[in-house]
Structure 1
């Protein structure tokens, strides 16, 4: 038995209305990145600790809720966050080339420099592990430090890291600390002597 035409028209009208509400929502979910970083904000550099870590501050931002609370210092206006550059390992300050690496990063991001910080995790010292991008230039600080020869890609000797290619090119060109054939990986230095425990 066939349904009256006015029932069919009403049924298709109902489907059209429902589609307007639910299809956009489903589409929005499908195009969202599967692994978006937990935090991505603009900050200002307040202090460079060494070749792979620095303090940044933001005006009026509240503490985030993504597992980096212990990295914050101060309250309200101008809160500070200690950041470790993701994917690299620079010499300890008490290690040979340590102050040179710090000075290279300071020259790139002096106090007051605007940066974008994308936080991925937190290390055992409470530092936010993050990508830091120079504004407005778009320079990735970690990539730059490796490419200029002031830090190692932290992928290690047997696995690729984020900046393996830049590391190899810096070694071949003998840039920065790689001009010294005796330059020691920070991880090896820390195994023998421990960390410098710089607080910033």
Structure 2
């Protein structure tokens, strides 16, 4: 029954790419707003281009899918292998913040414009890993991010997860719609953090910066920050959100 309804959902969403779930649990014939919990074979990067949407249409179709707003951003592949990385769908949160301080090349202190009083938060720029400040290009990376995110600038952040230090793993967009995560890679001021983010788009941007020898790629053999942290025994900072862990696919540690 579920797979039949999923097929109906896919036919109704021919204009977008669909990532099929391995399985879903919940009352399939419940009300349209009744949430179901779905598990997917492929990690789904939390980024603004992805709409984490539940599709629940009683009688006609009562199944869930996750679909991309822009065609080609994700592969419509399905797998029955339980050994593959799995991730739970989380609600995409979006808010407006004011930049207070750039800490390094991939983290920022901000103030959320919340009533009745603003709330201080710290962001980790999701999908990238900048050099540590003591590494080569570390100060330059911080300076590049500070130029993109000046103090008191207002930006939009979207996230589905926090790290174990409570920092939002965020996609950041400025008033000109510049995607800061991508821009840091384009400038060659950070690595694509493939361990926790499998975006083909970000990978392509990183490769372009490498080919042009921009930023840290001007060095013949730059040391990846996760290698530096491992060698210097810096504590790991695995990403999690409300019990959901963002799965990894390569060695190293997050910041």
User: Does the pair score TM above 0.5?
Assistant: yes
Indicate the residue corresponding to 1:46 in structure 2.
100
The structural deviation recorded for 1:55 is 1.0
Distance change in 2, residues 1:161/1:60 (3 Å): closer
Deviations 1:27-80 (A, max 9, x none): x955x984574310111111111111101112334xxxxxxxxxxxxxx62311
**Structure 1: unaligned runs, 5 residues or longer:** 1-24, 62-75
1:102 is the counterpart of 2:142: yes
Q: Give the SS at the match of 1:138.
A: coil
Runs of 4+ in 1 over 3 A off after TM superposition: 32-38, 159-162
SS in 2 for 1:174: coil
Which structure 2 residues correspond to residues 77-92 of structure 1 after superposition, within 5 A?
A: 77-92=117-132
Corresponding residue of 1:58: 112
Structure 1 residue 145 corresponds to structure 2 residue 179:
no
Higher helix content, 1 or 2: 1
Normalization by structure 1: what TM-score?
0.69
The answer as to 2:157 corresponding to 1:117 is yes
Q: Secondary structure of the equivalent of 1:132?
A: strand
1: distance between equivalents of 2:170 and 2:183? 15
Once the two structures are superposed, the pairs formed by residues 5-16 of structure 1 within 5 Å of their partners are: none
**Structure 1 165/80 Cα, relative in aligned 2: closer, same or farther at 3 Å?**
same
CA RMSD after TM alignment: 2.8
Q: 1:193, CA displacement in angstroms? A: 1.3
Q: Give the conservation status (yes or no) of the 8 Å contact 1:43–1:117.
A: yes
Map of 2:222 onto structure 1 = 183
Whether the 8 Å CA contact 1:149–1:178 is kept in 2: the answer is: yes
Q: Specify which structure has the bigger relative contact order, considering alpha-carbon pairs within 8 angstroms and separated by 6 or more residues.
A: 1
- Alpha-carbon distance in 1 for matches of 2:154, 2:199: 27
Report the Cα offset of residue 192 of structure 1: 0.6
TM (normalized to structure 2)?
Answer: 0.55
The structure number with the bigger radius of gyration is 1
Q: Shift of residue 195 of structure 1? A: 4.1
Task: Could you tell me which runs of 5 or more consecutive residues in structure 2 were left unpaired when the two chains were aligned.
Answer: 1-31, 34-54, 58-63, 67-88, 236-255
> Is contact 1:149-1:170 (8 Å) kept?
yes
CA contact (8 A) 2:173 2:180 kept: yes
Contact residue 90 and residue 101 of structure 1 kept, 8 A? yes
- The 1:195–1:96 alpha-carbon spacing in structure 2 relative to 1, beyond 3 Å, is farther
